[in-house]
Chains A and B, each alone.
Chain A
Amino acid sequence: MRTLKFLLQKEFRQIFRDKTLLRAMLLAPLVQLMLLPLASNYEIKNIYLAVVDHDHSTYSQKMVSKIVSSGYFKLAGNNASYNDAYQLIEQDKADIILEIPAGFERNLVREGSQKLFIAVNAINGTKALVGGGYLSSILGDYNNDIRLQWMQPDRFNAAPQIDIASSNWYNPLMNYKTFMVPGILVLLVTMMGSMMCALNIVKEKEIGTIEQINVTPVKKYQFILGKLIPFWVLCMVLFSVGMLLAKLVYGIGVAGNIGVLYLFLSVYLIAVLGLGLLISTYAETQQQAMSISFFFMMIFNLLGGLFTPIESMPVWAQWIAHANPVSYFISVMRMVILKGSGLHDIRYHILIMLVFGVVINTWAVMNYRKRA
């Protein structure tokens, strides 16, 4: 116990002495936490629309003004021909072309049906889909409007309609920030924890101080605890500050019990720091440790369920996701923060994390011993 006290003293002194690093470790993630949600807005506004109106009728003009007044679209230009409009797309000045053929109004009334041509710059698939979707639904609305105007109401009602009333629980306004911020915090705490832990140990290897410790009566577990505890504390602090910022800046409160969240975090950190420890046993230089952790962090982050739902992955990727601590924490964050899930609901998550922690740390300690 006494030995551990001295080791902890040493680690904390070293951490707090390197002010540049400490600042980078705590500030960088928080700045990121502030910026990322601002940038990561999937709600798409300001879609630039180029209109090619060959009809110049009342209907076509009303339609265009309905589209523009929706707030999602901005008029990039009224072009005489499709080729002119295409130029705008080439130059990235327009995202969508709406081409209204000549005789649009006349055909609509006489023949009951008329085609419209829409061309979407689909390099950015998501944006194209969303933009095309908005445009279709506005056109649908407009279609209903003119139908209502043109026909007697009872004839219109002849077609049976199914209404879909959808309600989105836990995030009724579909606010992306409440969805992203907790997830980003998870990624940050995970990266910080595992990378710092790995680099710190490898640094002692590189400089040679670890040799000195190895010839002293310090036990492996003491040395490892001496490394894990400071970073465990640091990650706890980082997480708390992150949660505070989320509350103050984005107004994201915890629907459930925050104690449950911390309980999970404390177990989670054991697994994540163990991962750092494991990496450190395989790396001889900090550069190696860095590239190995970067590699795995990238996979963990992408398959963590933050950017795309885990349900949407192919089976092999889902298996990786199940072996990915990040995905459990992201799911727990959503459960506790947004849904207010309790200890009972996340019992399996905690259990799995415990297994992770034990397996990873045992592996790391075994591998560590081999080297010495």
Chain B
Amino acid sequence: MQETVIKTEKLTKRFGDFIAANELTFEVYKGEIFGFLGANGAGKTTAMRMLCGLSKPSSGSATIAGFDVYKQPESIKKNIGYMSQKFSLYEDLTVTENIRLYAGIYGLSDKDIKEKSEALLHQLGLENEAKKLVKELPLGWRQKLSFSVAVIHKPKIVFLDEPTGGVDPVTRRQFWDLIYDASDKGVTVFVTTHYMDEAEYCNRISIMVDGYIRALDTPAKLKEQYSAASMDEVFYGLAREAKRKAD
């Protein structure tokens, strides 16, 4: 049987009267690419922030990489990578300096840092840009760099919050190549997205509507279940029921 790396049980987050995430229960297995879909305001980001230890759940339970979200958020942080929808590298640092910073924060040795950054620059074809400030790079390159930095410490799980927003289709493909590559090496990928074609790339997906998980399965089975030709149709079918206004 597959190893479970994320396990949640009725995980809930309330902001006053507003329930952003309602009794989420699901499991994610090792090496899986798990897609997390939903309209804006459906509660994706809230759910993800709870899993990363960025926000405390109101009730329910969750273990990430075997650690409890309430009691061991610091241990969780050592074992995950995270890339947010806002660009998260320092624009006024160079490519190498950013890599060094995050590698250093995750406790890599100097030797490791040197080897990893060289390998990373080579993989991304950024050797000539190593000394450039990040803000001088095109958006697509920055996102790829961001991802590579997020997995530089070989985390068990990497969380990606709408990683390909505003990126052109070609770069998106390249980005997904990076994701597959990481997944092949045993990194579990937890990704939120708006793009339905990207949903098809995932091993399993869940669809959130108004704070609830309304569907969870492989793309193929979901299409079958909703007798839809594409993921688009599945998604719109569910999203139409939403009462909550998108933000």
Residues of A with Cβ closer than 8 Å to B?
2-3, 5-7, 9-10, 13-14, 17-18, 207-209, 211-219, 372
Contacts and interface: CB of A to CB of B under 8 A. Distances in A.
Interface stretch (B6-14, B90-98, B201-209): B90-98
A14 B92 contact: yes
Contacts of B53: 215
Contacts of B93: 10, 13-14, 17
A218 B88 contact: no
Interface string B73-87: 010011010111011
A250 B80 CA distance: 58
A68 B78 CA distance: 81
Contacts of A7: 101, 105
Given A208-B84, A214-B54, A215-B82, A6 B90 contact: no
Top 8 A-B pairs ranked by shortest CB distance?
A: A208-B86, A6-B104, A212-B88, A215-B82, A217-B78, A217-B77, A215-B52, A216-B105
Nearest to B150: A212
Contact of A211 (B88, B100, B101, B105): B88
Contacts of A215: 52-54, 77, 80, 82, 159
Given A216-B102, A217-B74, A209 B89 contact: yes
Residue among B55, B77, B90, B107 having the largest count of chain A Cβ atoms under 10 Å: B90
Contacts of B78: 217
Residue among A217, A218, A372 having the largest count of chain B Cβ atoms under 10 Å: A217
Contact of B92 (A18, A216, A372): A18
A372 B101 contact: no
Given A10-B93, A18-B92, A211-B88, A216 B77 contact: yes
B88 A208 contact: yes
A218 to B, nearest CB: 5
8 contacts: A2-B104, A3-B105, A5-B104, A7-B105, A17-B133, A215-B54, A217-B105, A372-B55
Contacts of B74: 217, 219
A303 B133 CA distance: 44
Contacts of A13: 93, 97
B234 to A, nearest CB: 30
B106 interface: yes
Contacts of B92: 14, 17-18
B90 A14 contact: yes
A214 B82 CA distance: 10
Assign chain B's interface to a size class. 20 to 34
B88 A2 contact: no
Given A14-B93, A208-B87, A217 B107 contact: yes
Contacts of A17: 92-93, 133
Nearest to B97: A13
Nearest to A6: B104
Interface string B40-84: 000000000000111100000000000000000010011010111
A2 B90 CA distance: 20
Nearest to B82: A215
B108 to A, nearest CB: 10
Nearest to A210: B88
B84 A212 contact: yes
Contacts of A211: 54, 82, 84, 86, 88
A358 B181 CA distance: 49
A216 B90 contact: no
Contacts of B88: 208-209, 211-212
Given A3-B104, A3-B107, A215-B80, A10 B54 contact: no
Given A10-B90, A215-B82, 10 more contacts: A3-B107, A10-B93, A13-B93, A207-B87, A211-B82, A211-B88, A215-B53, A215-B77, A216-B105, A372-B54
Contacts of A3: 104-105, 107
Nearest to B98: A10
Contacts of B102: 216
Nearest to A208: B86
Contacts of B91: 207
Interface in B13-61: 52-55
B82 A212 contact: yes
Contacts of B89: 209, 212
A212 B89 CA distance: 8
A209 B82 CA distance: 11
Contacts of B104: 2-3, 5-6, 9
A25 to B, nearest CB: 15
Contacts of B86: 207-208, 211
Nearest to A14: B92
A218 B104 CA distance: 10
